[in-house]
Chain A
Amino acid sequence: EAGVAQSPRYKIIEKRQSVAFWCNPISGHATLYWYQQILGQGPKLLIQFQNNGVVDDSQLPKDRFSAERLKGVDSTLKIQPAKLEDSAVYLCASRRSGTGELFFGEGSRLTVL
């Protein structure tokens, strides 16, 4: 079974630029999550999708972050404009309905200069 795929693995941008991250969850997993992990901290949930609907985006900074999962499969997370404090690893995870385990991708490491 293929795991959660994320790209790009690394991205360096200057503040005020934009960036987009892509995630393809494990096939058949209805729930998809985007987490932000700042160095030395635990992952923080940004947004949770159930199929193509948003379940929880209470911690998503909506003035600059957006995410979509139009067809209920892969997802894109965008940051525009980026700030220095957005430097972090952006982790995508997916979960099969009826189970608790989250499967994480390798993450996309963002550095904002």
Chain B
Amino acid sequence: GQQVMQIPQYQHVQEGEDFTTYCNSSTTLSNIQWYKQRPGGHPVFLIQLVKSGEVKKQKRLTFQFGEAKKNSSLHITATQTTDVGTYFCADAGGTSYGKLTFGQGTILTVHP
């Protein structure tokens, strides 16, 4: 797997504000996954992106894969307190679904 960098490391928002986290790689990614980890919990799979320029939505969450497949983003519209947690992107290392290499994560805090 390749190294993926996530920004920002921390994000504090007021409930109702939007939130975006970015995942960047210096080399082309085969596919990328996103996970959410609640405080004290374990990572939970959100989505996998495979195609260049792909956009997927899950209710208030929008995931994008860059055209060059070197970056990805997760956008949350109108955050809620239930969105609190750490969001990780992970390089899935190719279609053989081998080693999954995680970024360092973005910690989201939502103030009510």
Report whether chain A binds chain B.
yes
Binding site for B on A (CB under 8 A): 31, 33, 41-45, 48, 55-56, 91, 93, 95, 98-107
Taking a contact as CB atoms under 8 Å apart, the answer to whether B97 and A45 are in contact is no
Shortest beta-carbon distance from A38 to chain B in Å: 11
Q: Contact size class for B?
A: 20 to 34
Residues of B51-108 contacting chain A, CB below 8 A: 88, 90, 92, 97-105
Q: What CA separation (Å) do A101 and B100 show in the bound complex?
A: 10
Binding site for A on B (CB under 8 A): 1, 31, 33, 35, 41-45, 48, 88, 90, 92, 97-105
Tally of A-B Cβ pairs under 8 angstroms: 51
CB distance B45 to A102 under 8 Å? yes
Q: Min CB distance, B88 to chain A, in Å?
A: 5
Smallest beta-carbon distance A13→chain B, Å? 21
B97 touches A104 (CB 8 A): no
Whole-angstrom distance between the alpha carbons of A60 and B39 in the complex? 26
